[in-house]
Amino acid sequence: MLGIHNLLRNPKYHQFWTTQKGADQEDLRLVRFEQDNGGHTYYGTYTAYSGKAISSEILQTRDFETFELRPLVASVKVV
């Protein structure tokens, strides 16, 4: 199993970090989505902690060499 915790801490990937990361990332849940053309994409949600704030975030990769990481954001409509 890939040590994703250590992977996200690797300075090589710091350019992809969102503002919440830096102190800790944990509880990654990773899923592989198969595409009709035979390709695949991995998506994972995890908890990011900056030392001051906690955030739910999402990771996206196809090759575990390049990553897109971003906070999960939702709007709520109260009725």
3-state secondary structure of 57: strand
Identify whether 14 is part of a domain: yes
Burial of residue 59 (CB within 10 Å: 0-12, 13-18, 19+) is: buried
> Is pLDDT larger for residue 36 or for residue 65?
36
Q: 3-30 burial, b if ≥16 CB within 10 A, otherwise e?
A: ebeebbeeeeeeeebeebbeebbeebee
Contact 60, 42 (CB under 8 A): yes
Identify whether 36 is part of a domain: yes
Which tens digit of pLDDT belongs to each residue from 8-54?
555 555 544 454 445 566 788 889 999 999 999 999 998 887 777 78
Contact 67, 16 (CB under 8 A): yes
CA angle 42, 46, 51 (to 5 degrees): 140
> Is pLDDT larger for residue 31 or for residue 79?
31
**Residue 3: is its pLDDT beyond 80?**
no
Identify whether 32 is part of a domain: yes
- The pLDDT assigned to 20 comes to 47
In the chain, the number of structural domains is 1
Identify whether 79 is part of a domain: no
Identify whether 78 is part of a domain: no
Identify whether 40 is part of a domain: yes
Identify whether 77 is part of a domain: no
